[in-house]
């Protein structure tokens, strides 16, 4: 015997049947509400995570840019020092050659 037949056959049970149906509908609505709230919270958390990720990437990019800039400055500084050292070395070599030539000429005389 199905539930509908029992309800139709015994009118007093109709009241309890309606209560059960209402409770079932309330639980269903409550579950749907909870699911919607969870989805909304999940969406907020994903947006927050995306924002944090974007901010972190921006910070990392700024760090990288500063590091690259300092490396370029250091490179330019070393190149300038190297050019100066090459010039000094060239002057030293030329000076030594002159000194040896003078000494050689003196020794010849």
* Contact (Cβ atoms closer than 8 angstroms) between residue 6 and residue 13: yes
Q: Could you tell me the pLDDT band of residue 34, with boundaries at 50, 70 and 90?
A: very high
- Token pair in block for residue 83: 């050019």
φ and ψ at 91, to 5 degrees? -65, -40
- The ranges assigned to domains in the chain are 3-107
Site of tokens 């309800």: 7
Site of tokens 């000429």: 105
What span, in angstroms and rounded, lies between the C-alpha atoms of 80 and 93?
A: 20
Burial per residue of 87-106, b for 16 or more beta-carbon CB atoms within 10 angstroms, e otherwise: eeeeeeeeeeeeeeeeeeee
pTM: 0.53
Which is higher by pLDDT, 108 or 11?
Answer: 108
- Residue-wise pLDDT for 47-60, tens only, equals 999 999 999 999 99
Residue 76 has pLDDT above 90, yes or no: yes
Number of residues in the chain: 109
Rg (C-alpha) for the chain, rounded Å, is 45
Lowest mean pLDDT across 65-69, 80-84, 89-93? 89-93
């Amino acid at each position: 015997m199905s539930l509908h037949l029992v309800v139709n056959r015994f009118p007093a049970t109709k009241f309890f049947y309606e209560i059960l149906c209402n409770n079932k509908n309330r639980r269903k609505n409550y579950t749907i509400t909870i699911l919607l709230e969870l989805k909304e919270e999940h969406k907020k958390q994903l947006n927050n995570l995306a924002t944090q990720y974007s901010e972190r990437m921006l910070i990392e990019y700024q760090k990288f840019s500063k590091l690259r800039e300092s490396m370029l400055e250091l490179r330019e500084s070393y190149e300038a020092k190297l050019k100066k050292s090459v010039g000094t070395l060239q002057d030293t070599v030329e000076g030594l050659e002159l000194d040896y030539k003078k000494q050689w000429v003196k020794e010849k005389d």
